């Protein structure tokens, strides 16, 4: 047996009586349908008399209309404690864009507490141009071969990679790690630059520094100052422990940021190995390139006076991280940078 509501029973009975009634009177069919529509609509409203307007809208719309509190954060709305209705003034402020909805906080890269062996260091968020942490970044220390970055920038400015120069005997005998070019060997500027940045070749920098007689040490230091290096002084282009050959980790950071602006340099320092024109293969002195997946250069430096120096770039695009770490005078530069990487987090 059908279980009908009161409204449905009335509707059914009305239709039955109306059908019987139509057998006795002559009436146009359109008025029959009009009457039926009127009665059904009336009964429908009668059944909704105990429901709210929101309930009616759920039936008449495909999707309910969201209330103001559902579309605008509650922190923006000011509710009247008595009526529980939205204040008109608060709503007007929203319409007039006078209420500032707080944007989600930007997560910044940070480093947990670290205890590096380096006497001076800077950890820098290269992507967001902000220093994360540092220690004694203005402390004056020997640069070692980190200065070769500046040497390459200074001496290669007006040269083409295809230009060639003959290796001098003086440069084959210079102190420091050498590639091993032979006297009178014709070497391209490209090989000199690659050898200087990848292998830290002293003979390569030596020859590069002799390609233009008008370029000298005074011009070299003035060029450094023009880049923003305020606390550095260089007495040779190779990074040997000469008197007053000094820099700071902050200055090396400034230099590195300028250096990386040139795409070719930023690509060279990531190369693990490179074959010269004379078929000799050189390997990058930065061991982090061989052990850390997200290593992106930049330069090592080691002397008795400087101990272990390192400028290192850590770039993890999947996590949106681009980091520069400058290490000066460390007993273990690679241990230091690994400690920084292991303690990275977004706050």
Map out the domains of the chain with their CATH numbers: 6-95 (no CATH), 109-346 (3.40.710.10)
Task: Please give the structure tokens belonging to residue 80.
Answer: 């009247």
Angle at 125 between CA 120 and CA 129, to 5 degrees: 110
Scanning the structure block, which residue is given the tokens 């993890």? 316
286 vs 303: CA distance, rounded Å: 15
Minimum mean pLDDT among 58-72, 145-159, 239-253, 261-275: which range?
58-72
Task: Say yes or no to pLDDT of 262 above 70.
Answer: yes
Task: Say yes or no to pLDDT of 90 above 80.
Answer: no
Tell me what the mean pLDDT of segment 239-246 comes to.
96
Q: What is the largest CA-CA distance in the chain?
A: 130
Task: Say yes or no to pLDDT of 336 above 60.
Answer: yes
Tell me what the mean pLDDT of segment 92-101 comes to.
56
Q: Which pLDDT does position 64 carry in this prediction?
A: 46
Q: Is the pTM of this model over 0.75?
A: no
78 vs 67: CA distance, rounded Å: 14
Tell me what the mean pLDDT of segment 21-25 comes to.
63
CB atoms under 10 Å from CB of 262, counted, come to 13
Tell me what the mean pLDDT of segment 182-211 comes to.
98
CB atoms under 10 Å from CB of 242, counted, come to 13
pLDDT digits (tens, 9 = 90+) for 316-333: 999 999 999 999 999 999
Report cis status (omega within 30 of 0) of the bond before 195.
no
Minimum mean pLDDT among 17-31, 108-122, 173-187: which range?
17-31
Task: Say yes or no to pLDDT of 135 above 80.
Answer: yes
55 vs 182: CA distance, rounded Å: 92
Q: Categorize the per-residue pLDDT at 77 as very low, low, confident or very high, splitting at 50, 70 and 90.
A: very low
Task: Say yes or no to pLDDT of 196 above 90.
Answer: yes
Task: Say yes or no to pLDDT of 154 above 60.
Answer: yes
Q: Which pLDDT does position 38 carry in this prediction?
A: 73
List, edge to edge, every strand of the sheet that includes 130-135. Answer: 130-135, 120-125, 321-330, 307-316, 295-303
Task: Please provide the average confidence, as pLDDT, over all residues in the chain.
Answer: 85
Tell me what the mean pLDDT of segment 299-313 comes to.
98
Which helix (H) or strand (E) element contains residue 325? strand 321-330
Q: Which pLDDT does position 59 carry in this prediction?
A: 47
Residues in a beta bridge with 111? 344
Task: Please give the structure tokens belonging to residue 347.
Answer: 């706050």
């Amino acid at each position: 047996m059908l279980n009908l509501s009161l409204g449905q029973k009335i509707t059914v009975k009305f239709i039955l009586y109306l059908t019987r009634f139509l057998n006795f009177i002559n009436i146009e069919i359109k008025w029959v349908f009009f009457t039926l529509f009127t009665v059904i609509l009336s009964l429908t409203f009668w059944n909704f008399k105990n429901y709210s307007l929101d309930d009616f809208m759920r039936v008449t719309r495909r999707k309910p209309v969201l209330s103001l509190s559902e579309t605008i954060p509650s922190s923006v709305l000011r509710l009247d404690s008595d009526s529980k209705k939205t204040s008109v003034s608060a709503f007007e402020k929203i319409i007039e864009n006078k209420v500032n909805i707080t944007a989600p906080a930007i997560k910044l890269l940070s480093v947990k507490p670290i205890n590096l062996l380096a006497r001076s260091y800077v950890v820098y968020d290269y992507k967001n141009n902000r220093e994360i942490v540092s220690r004694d970044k203005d402390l004056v220390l020997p640069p070692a071969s980190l200065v070769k970055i500046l040497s390459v920038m200074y001496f290669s400015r007006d040269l083409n990679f295809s230009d060639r120069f003959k290796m001098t005997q003086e440069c084959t005998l210079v102190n420091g790690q050498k590639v091993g070019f032979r006297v009178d060997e014709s070497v391209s500027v490209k090989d000199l630059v690659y050898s200087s940045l990848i292998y830290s070749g002293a003979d390569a920098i030596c020859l590069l520094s002799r390609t233009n007689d008008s370029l000298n040490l005074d011009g070299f230091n003035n060029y450094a100052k023009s880049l923003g290096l305020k606390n550095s002084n260089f007495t040779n282009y190779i990074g040997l422990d000469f008197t007053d050959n000094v820099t700071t980790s902050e200055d090396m950071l400034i230099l590195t940021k300028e250096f990386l602006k040139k795409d070719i340099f930023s690509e060279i320092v990531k190369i693990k190995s490179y074959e010269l024109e004379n078929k000799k293969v050189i390997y990058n002195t930065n061991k982090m390139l061989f052990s850390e997946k997200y290593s992106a250069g930049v330069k090592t430096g080691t002397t008795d006076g400087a101990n272990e120096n390192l400028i290192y770039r850590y770039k993890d695009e999947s996590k949106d991280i681009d980091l520069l770490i400058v290490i000066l005078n460390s007993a273990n530069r690679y241990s230091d940078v690994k400690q920084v990487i292991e303690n990275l987090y977004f706050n």
